[in-house]
Each structure stands twice: as structure tokens, then as C-alpha cells.
Structure 1
Amino acid sequence: MTAAVATPAHTRSPQDARAVARAEGWRRRAPLLPALIFTIVVTQVPFLVTIWYSLRSRNLLRPESDLFVGFDNYVRIAQDATFRQAAANSVVITLGCVLVAMLLGILLALLLDRPFAGRGLARTLLITPFLLMPVASSVLWSVAMLNPTYGLLNWTLSLVGIPSVDWTSTYPVVSILMALVWQWTPFMMLLVLAGLQAQPRDVLEAAAMDGAGWWRTFVSITLPQLRRYIELGVLLGIIYVVNTFDQIYIMTAGGPGTESANLPFYIYQRAFLGFDIGQAAAMGVVVVIATIIVATLALRLIFRSFDVRE
């Protein structure tokens, strides 16, 4: 009897090698297919339905007006001044929150990276705002902090002779930004703190032995080390803050008028208050595409910095 002998890898033809590699790839991917199918069903199918609604003139108050109108909803969006204002508010709120929260997060992380009595308690207290529900933090800021009659901020300003201000009516966007920055600063602080604790101590000791001061060490060594963490925090902050809804709904309801409405809130108004499903769906499609473009560009910049460092 002759025993079967396995073909050595170096004697296989290129076609056989590709077939083996393809089979091995499918063997590794097979356990992930159920999760992939589930993700496609719960994300892409609703998005395709949204695209379909965006091409129709559908109003829940007038069922007979359900007609295919093509890109007419997108043309109306381009001509909608309120949509442009909501888009501008989204940019201001998102960038303002992310940049200010990141700056404060860096400062707090630098403080927490130094040993002092009660550091564990201070870290826990600083993390607490990020653990609160957005609705709870919105109520806290609207009622306890910014109330024109008995708010803590107006009471503090009255101590130096500044009259009370109705913040949510006079400065609605600033009020929303204060609540968002308070909630997102702990997240940025944790990311930066992780970067500070990951930097090699021998490099810092060498810089100190060479006579480098705190500022020179921070600019030349610490800040480049934190670049990846800062970029990741900014990217995640933009993705999440651009979808802000709770703070606007609780604190200002998009007002006065539509002065503080962002894109998610304006889409909510068109869909659930104006019952214009077609135009609301078109707005949603535009927002999703814009978010994907921004996230893709940001991810490319981050991965490019990784490749350069490697």
C-alpha cells in the first residue's frame, strides 16, 4: 500500500496557493459573518429605506400626497435658510465643545498626572459629569446653574455686581456649549491622562538631566507623545457631539425661534412636528453623508500619523 504524501508548500502552483489562502481567509471570517449580517440589517437597511423616503413627497397629515419627486427634497433643503442656520449651529456647537473640552482635559490631565493627597478622590469627582445621563445634566444646567432667578451662575455673578442674565434665552448657544463642555471634558481628560501615563519615564528623566524646563519638556516631548490621543479624542468628540439632541431639547427647545437648533433637532422638528417625512429623510441622508466624509478624512489623518511614527 502506498501512503498519500502531502504536497510541500514550495511545490504548489500559484493557483493552489491562492485557493488555500482564500479558504483560510474564509475560515477565519466565518465566525464573524453573523455579526456582519446583523450589523447590515440594523444599519444599512434602514438607511436604504431613508433614502427611498427622501425621494418622495410624504407628509403624514396628507397621505394622498405620497408621490415620487426625485431630488426635489434635496433642492428644497439647499434653499432652506433654517437648514443652513442649523448646519452652522452644528459646526459651532461641535467644534466649540470639542476644542474647549480638549484644552480643559489637557490641563486637568496634567494636574492629575502629578502625585498629591486626594488624587484618587479628585479623579473620581472629575469623571462624574461624563457618567451622568445627558437629560440629567441638561436639567442640572438649565435649572440649578443657568436659571435667571436662583441659578448658581447668576448668584456668583451677583457677588461682583453683575446683574442676572437669562442665559438660555439671551445666549442659547453659549448655554448649550457650557453644558456640553462640562460633560465631555472628563472624557478628553481620561484619554490625555492615558497618554501621559504611557510616555516613557526615561525620556523625561533624560530631558530633566539635560536641563530642559517644564515648558520645553511639554512642547518637545509630551505634546508629540499625546498627539495620537488628542486626535482620537477630537475625532470621537466630533462624531458624538454632532448628534447632540438632549441638551438642545431640554435647555432651549431650539429657540428662541430656531437660533440654537442644530441639524438633529431640526430634523426632529420637520419629522415629528411638521410631519414632513420626505424632507426630514433627505436632511438625514445629507447629515449622514457629511458625517461619513468628515470621519473618513479624520481617520485617514490619524492613520497617516501612525504610519509616519512607525
Structure 2
Amino acid sequence: MATLVDSHNRRERARRADRGKERAEGWRRRGPLLPALIFTIIVTQLPFVFTLWYSLLNWNLLRPDGTEFVGLQNYVDIFADSTFRQAALNSVIYTVGCVFAAMVLGIIFALLLDREFRGRGLVRTLLITPFLIMPVASAVLWSVSMLNPSYGLVNWILSLFGIPAVDWTSSYPVLSVLMALVWQWTPFMMLLVLAGLQAQPRDVLEAAQMDGAGWWRTFTSITLPQLRRYIELGILLGAIYVVNTFDQIYIMTAGGPGTASANLPFYIYQRAFLGFDIGQAAAMGVVVVIATIIIATFALRLIFRSFDVKD
């Protein structure tokens, strides 16, 4: 009996020693990452905690002595604000319209660049260039060179067909910003899709051709399922970045006419730095962050699920 107890104690001590070694090895692997983790928490989570606190205050910089705790009243006020709802709708239009149009154009350009032709390297470089331009420079380019009502390139092309000049940024502000966003984000989608096209096995395509499958049948049955992961990743990354668009709106339309083209980030800027209402601006920021996290989490689950599916 004593022998059994001693054997059990030795096994228990051995298990504890193994667990201690595993924990020590885990800390040795994670230790170098701790400074980066601490820095990330300081620069991202602490400001968000302060933003949460500010969103519970009635704080306007024009009345610094009138700060008071109002709880969730700021959230009630912003959802009752018609301008906030319009800005939220514009954010959805910008995000969905830009991502959808850029992805469709990206797929088309990627299919063209996946073929061998003379000057393909030059064409690829020219198509990538819009994504390398700073957003402010892109907005100035579209506002001054492309959509200017007097000497813009778009109106000059329309004049060739007898169509009168249009003041795009005043008459169609949302469409004007959307065109600039699509122009900038199409190369990013094209690169992702092109990477997927070049990663697909050529023997499968050759087998489809040997079986008599046409181009469209090959694309819908083989190529498009192969590109699903790349398309989902492009949609996710594009949506996260486009929903935070600010530069194009500020440069091209300044949110106008009035607030017709303002999205949520721009409206938050207006309330915080033009209206000096820190409380409601913080509440809007919290709503935007929570909505972005929910959408990103849902999209990531779809992407990870597609990666788990065995081909």
C-alpha cells in the first residue's frame, strides 16, 4: 500500500514539474511580446476607456463650468438626431458602394492581368498606382482635375457628347466621393484577387478545358470558389478602412451641401471640433467602434469558417 502511495506521489510530482516546465516555456515564448502588448493597451484601450467616460458627460467646451454626469442621455440624443442617422446612412452607402464596385472592377482587372500580353508589367504598375497615392492627394486630384465644373476632365468628356457641365461635388456630393473612393481602392482588390488567381492549380484548369468546359463555366465552377477566401478578405479589410473615410469628404465636399455628404467620422469631427460638444462626439465614437467590432467579428467568423472547410 505504501508503495502505491509513493508511486502516485512521484507521478503527481512529475506531472506538476511538466506543467511548470510548460508554463515556463510559454512565458519564454510570450515574454518578448509583452512590451508590444502593453504599448498597444496604453495607446488604444486607455483612450477608449476615457472616451466611454466622456460619453457619459454633458461636456461642451463653450461651457467648461457646466460639465455634469448625464449617464446614457448622450446616446439617446444622438439616435434621435436626424443628422446622425443621415451620416450613418452615408457611411453605409460609402462602405457598401465602394467595396462592391471596387471588388467587381478588381476582379475584372485581375482576370485581364492574369493573361500573358505585351506590356503587362507596365499596365500592372499603372493600375496599382492609385492605391499608392495619399488620400488627400487623391481627393485634390478628383476635386480639381476630374470633377471641377469649369475645366474638369469628366465634364470635358461629357461635352463631347453634348451633355452640359455638371457641378459634381455640389449636385452629387455622395457620388463624387464614392467615385474617388472606388478609384483608390480598386487596385487593392485587384492585387488580392490576382494573388488568388495565380495561386490556383493550373492542372485543374487544364483538366476543365480538356473536358470541354467554356470560359464562363470554368470561372463560375472553379475559379470563383478558389477566389472566395481572397474576396472575403478584401471585403473585410476594405470595409474596415472605408468606413473610417475622412480625407476625401473633407477635401472634396466638406460634408456638404450642409451635411448631405457627411459620414460618421466626419460628423464626429464636426461635433467635436466645430460644435465643441465633447460628450455627444464621444458617444458617437463609441457607437462607431462597437458597430465596427460587431461587423468585423461577423466577417472574420465567415472567413475562418471558409478556411476550415476542406476543399
1:74-113 alignment runs, 5 A limit: 74-113=75-114
| 1:94 aligned partner, one-letter code | T
| 1:182 aligned partner, one-letter code | W
What's the counterpart of residue 23 of structure 2? 22
Please give the per-residue CA displacement for 1:188-222, whole angstroms capped at 9, x wherever unaligned: 00000000000001111111111111111111110
Q: Distance in 1 between matches of 2:122 and 2:260?
A: 40
| 1:162 aligned partner, one-letter code | I
Q: Distance in 2 between matches of 1:11 and 1:242?
A: 57
1:167-182 alignment runs, 5 A limit: 167-182=168-183
TM-aligned CA deviation for residue 11 of structure 1: 5.2
Moved more, 22-31 or 148-157: 22-31
Q: Distance in 2 between matches of 1:124 and 1:216?
A: 30
What's the counterpart of residue 54 of structure 2? 53
What's the counterpart of residue 235 of structure 2? 234
TM-aligned CA deviation for residue 38 of structure 1: 0.4
| 2:147 aligned partner, one-letter code | L
Q: Distance in 2 between matches of 1:18 and 1:165?
A: 72
TM-aligned CA deviation for residue 68 of structure 1: 1.1
1:279 is aligned to 2:291: no
What's the counterpart of residue 206 of structure 2? 205
What's the counterpart of residue 253 of structure 1? 254
| 2:61 aligned partner, one-letter code | L
Please give the per-residue CA displacement for 1:48-87, whole angstroms capped at 9, x wherever unaligned: 0111111111111110111111111111111111000000
Q: Distance in 2 between matches of 1:258 and 1:223?
A: 40
What's the counterpart of residue 7 of structure 2? none
TM-aligned CA deviation for residue 308 of structure 1: 1.2
Q: What's the TM-score once normalised by structure 1's chain length?
A: 0.95
Please give the per-residue CA displacement for 1:130-188, whole angstroms capped at 9, x wherever unaligned: 00010001000001100111110011001011111111111110000000000000000
What's the counterpart of residue 7 of structure 1? none
1:39-50 alignment runs, 5 A limit: 39-50=40-51
| 2:137 aligned partner, one-letter code | A
| 2:309 aligned partner, one-letter code | V
Q: Distance in 1 between matches of 2:249 and 2:145?
A: 16
1:143-154 alignment runs, 5 A limit: 143-154=144-155
Q: Distance in 2 between matches of 1:291 and 1:206?
A: 43
Q: Distance in 1 between matches of 2:158 and 2:169?
A: 16
Please give the per-residue CA displacement for 1:268-308, whole angstroms capped at 9, x wherever unaligned: 00000000001100100010000000000000000011111
Q: What's the TM-score once normalised by structure 2's chain length?
A: 0.95
What's the counterpart of residue 65 of structure 1? 66
TM-aligned CA deviation for residue 23 of structure 1: 2.2
| 1:265 aligned partner, one-letter code | F
What's the counterpart of residue 4 of structure 2? none
1:100-179 alignment runs, 5 A limit: 100-179=101-180
Please give the per-residue CA displacement for 1:82-104, whole angstroms capped at 9, x wherever unaligned: 00000000000100000000000
What's the counterpart of residue 264 of structure 2? 263
| 1:198 aligned partner, one-letter code | A
Q: Distance in 2 between matches of 1:197 and 1:101?
A: 20
SS at match of 1:59: coil
TM-aligned CA deviation for residue 21 of structure 1: 2.2
| 1:104 aligned partner, one-letter code | L
Q: Distance in 1 between matches of 2:282 and 2:93?
A: 23
Identity over aligned pairs, percent: 79
Please give the per-residue CA displacement for 1:9-29, whole angstroms capped at 9, x wherever unaligned: x95654443333222212211
Q: Distance in 2 between matches of 1:309 and 1:125?
A: 37
Moved more, 15-24 or 161-170: 15-24
| 2:250 aligned partner, one-letter code | Y
Q: Name structure 1 gaps, 5 residues minimum.
A: 1-9
Q: Distance in 1 between matches of 2:93 and 2:230?
A: 23
Q: Distance in 1 between matches of 2:17 and 2:308?
A: 33
| 1:238 aligned partner, one-letter code | A
What's the counterpart of residue 294 of structure 1? 295
| 1:109 aligned partner, one-letter code | A
| 1:24 aligned partner, one-letter code | E
